[in-house]
A and B are shown apart, each in its own frame.
Chain A
């Protein structure tokens, strides 16, 4: 699903965020990306979402070589990925309904179907009935769940999340992680960047440890039902 092949990322200011990174995440796999802040977790996710591009090396996402995706084709590329942000990135002046339905509006789905799917997505994150609330009226945990609903409404085959529990207390964190787990169980590939080691240990999934822009450990076996895809 995701294939990093000797990828380097150097920012214009000279900072080397990723050095010679090679990593493979299999289709249907769920993996955690851990490491200290500055280890390159966010950069790695940004490369997957084509927010940044590799300086060197090849990155293949869902069968597409990201180097061959021109600027104009980035929007459709992003539509096949669900992205969850630490700071939610919600439209604060719009109701939850508009926020969650935005990817479908962009995709040109008819209004009637949007309504149905927004309610289904909100149901999956336990927020059914909150369509008309504004994000500002919701708690941080609820806002994060709105962000997740928006990420999954387009039925993406890949879900990436950058510190989705960064601002949440432990109970809420578990709740949010369980949501991700449920999506993984229906076949969605899930990659979550998190430094919350205690939380991660609760789940028996693979941990990819980043250190100074390199993979310091494939950490743990991939789930037995999946072929071996340990990072090199």
Chain B
């Protein structure tokens, strides 16, 4: 057992030494693998961050109730009273048309255009916050349906609709990330496989001699498998560096945007587990790619 371990360690170091002897070619291979791994990894980080950022919104299940233009402020207040009595409602806020216009004037940048209007085009509105235990999709749908039937109510809008749409889009993006990761993984297998195939071709004489003196296919293959593992580990590390750099570069501007929206959100990196998965994933892909190529290629080399 100790010998076996010793032998593998020797091959491991030996193959690293061989790669070291042709640093440029090795670096190129590792860079290609690194970039191929970094693309899906960056996408993954992006999706994780968007999910984290949007996580807070899912709870904001406020329902906006817009009164008819003809409804007076009193009508709105009465409606608010009635809604407040419902068991499934936690809070109702009345938004006066004038206040709404004022806020719109401030935030929209259409101030002067709005001054040209004779009347306030906005209706009074109510913001209804459902009670904690009635926030399921079914309850909310029932609530909006009943609110719509109240006298003086024009439009009932579920503010969370766009959140669900957003989440649906995010699900699509996540799946795209999966597909991309799969394709890039396949690409890495091909890259490593082809590199190993060339390595083997360059050492054809040596392999023939080794087989002549009794080396098995597995023995001949071993250093190439370690080559693949090194390529993968190197590529995984490069990918990790790329992701880290991307996060550092984007971190400040994203924080500024978050600040503008009054959020304390900041970009999250891969984290310990993600980093490990990236680097080890690279190693596994490197091993697999070289295993497939080396097994095939070495079988075909026989002493003449």
**Chain A interface (Cβ < 8 Å from any Cβ of B):** 49, 51, 72, 75-79, 83, 85, 89-91, 102-103, 105-108, 110-111, 150, 154
Cross-interface CB contact of B213 among A102, A108, A111, cutoff 8 Å: A102
CA distance A107 to B303 in the complex (A): 19
Q: Which residues of A contact B302 (CB under 8 A)?
A: 51
Q: Which residues of B contact A111 (CB under 8 A)?
A: 6, 10
CB atoms of A106 and B215 under 8 A apart: yes
7 residue pairs of the A-B complex, CB under 8 angstroms, read A72-B216, A78-B212, A89-B212, A90-B209, A103-B213, A106-B216, A110-B6
Q: Which residues of A contact B4 (CB under 8 A)?
A: 108
CB atoms of B214 and A79 under 8 A apart: yes
Closest beta carbon of chain B to A118's beta carbon, Å: 14
Please classify the interface of chain B as helix (H, G, I), strand (E, B), loop, or mixed, using the class held by over half of its residues. helix
CB atoms of A106 and B6 under 8 A apart: no
Instruction: List 6 extra interface pairs beyond A51-B302, A75-B217, A102-B215, CB under 8 A.
Output: A75-B214, A85-B212, A102-B209, A106-B213, A106-B216, A108-B4
Cross-interface CB contact of A76 among B209, B214, B217, B304, cutoff 8 Å: B214
CA distance A77 to B212 in the complex (A): 11
Closest beta carbon of chain A to B266's beta carbon, Å: 53
CB atoms of B212 and A83 under 8 A apart: yes
Cross-interface CB contact of B219 among A77, A91, A106, cutoff 8 Å: A106
- Chain B residues numbered 193-230 whose CB sits less than 8 Å from any CB in chain A: 205-206, 208-217, 219
CA distance A228 to B289 in the complex (A): 57
Q: Which residues of A contact B209 (CB under 8 A)?
A: 89-91, 102
- Chain B residues numbered 1-57 whose CB sits less than 8 Å from any CB in chain A: 3-4, 6-7, 10
CA distance A108 to B7 in the complex (A): 8
CB atoms of B211 and A75 under 8 A apart: yes
CB atoms of B304 and A51 under 8 A apart: yes
Q: Which residues of A contact B3 (CB under 8 A)?
A: 108, 110
CB atoms of A102 and B303 under 8 A apart: no
CA distance A89 to B304 in the complex (A): 12
* Interface core residue of A90, A106, A107, A154 (most chain B CB under 10 Å): A106
Q: Which residues of B contact A49 (CB under 8 A)?
A: 212
CB atoms of B213 and A150 under 8 A apart: yes
Closest beta carbon of chain B to A46's beta carbon, Å: 9
Closest beta carbon of chain A to B96's beta carbon, Å: 87
Q: Which residues of B contact A91 (CB under 8 A)?
A: 205-206, 209
Cross-interface CB contact of A106 among B10, B205, B206, B214, cutoff 8 Å: B214
**Chain B interface (Cβ < 8 Å from any Cβ of A):** 3-4, 6-7, 10, 205-206, 208-217, 219, 302-304
CB atoms of A51 and B303 under 8 A apart: yes
Name which residue of chain B comes closest to A76, CB basis: B214
CB atoms of B212 and A106 under 8 A apart: no
CA distance A77 to B6 in the complex (A): 25
Closest beta carbon of chain A to B222's beta carbon, Å: 11
* Interface core residue of A72, A102, A107 (most chain B CB under 10 Å): A102
CA distance A90 to B212 in the complex (A): 11
Closest beta carbon of chain A to B216's beta carbon, Å: 4
Name which residue of chain B comes closest to A85, CB basis: B212
Known: A102-B210, A108-B3, A108-B7. A75 touches B304 (CB 8 A): no
CA distance A78 to B209 in the complex (A): 12
Closest beta carbon of chain A to B295's beta carbon, Å: 13
CB atoms of B6 and A75 under 8 A apart: no
CB atoms of A78 and B206 under 8 A apart: no
CA distance A163 to B208 in the complex (A): 19
Cross-interface CB contact of B216 among A75, A83, A110, A154, cutoff 8 Å: A75
Closest beta carbon of chain B to A94's beta carbon, Å: 8
CA distance A105 to B219 in the complex (A): 10
9 A-B pairs closest in CB distance: A79-B214, A78-B214, A75-B216, A106-B215, A75-B214, A103-B213, A89-B209, A51-B303, A110-B3
Closest beta carbon of chain A to B261's beta carbon, Å: 63
Name which residue of chain B comes closest to A150, CB basis: B213
Q: Which residues of A contact B215 (CB under 8 A)?
A: 75, 102, 106
CA distance A151 to B214 in the complex (A): 11
CA distance A114 to B293 in the complex (A): 31
CA distance A108 to B4 in the complex (A): 8
Name which residue of chain B comes closest to A111, CB basis: B6
Closest beta carbon of chain A to B224's beta carbon, Å: 16
Q: Which residues of B contact A90 (CB under 8 A)?
A: 209
Q: Which residues of B contact A107 (CB under 8 A)?
A: 214
Cross-interface CB contact of B210 among A72, A76, A77, A106, cutoff 8 Å: A106
CA distance A114 to B303 in the complex (A): 25
Q: Which residues of A contact B205 (CB under 8 A)?
A: 91
Name which residue of chain A comes closest to B219, CB basis: A106
Name which residue of chain B comes closest to A93, CB basis: B206
Cross-interface CB contact of A75 among B7, B206, B208, B219, cutoff 8 Å: B219
Q: Which residues of B contact A154 (CB under 8 A)?
A: 214
Closest beta carbon of chain A to B5's beta carbon, Å: 11
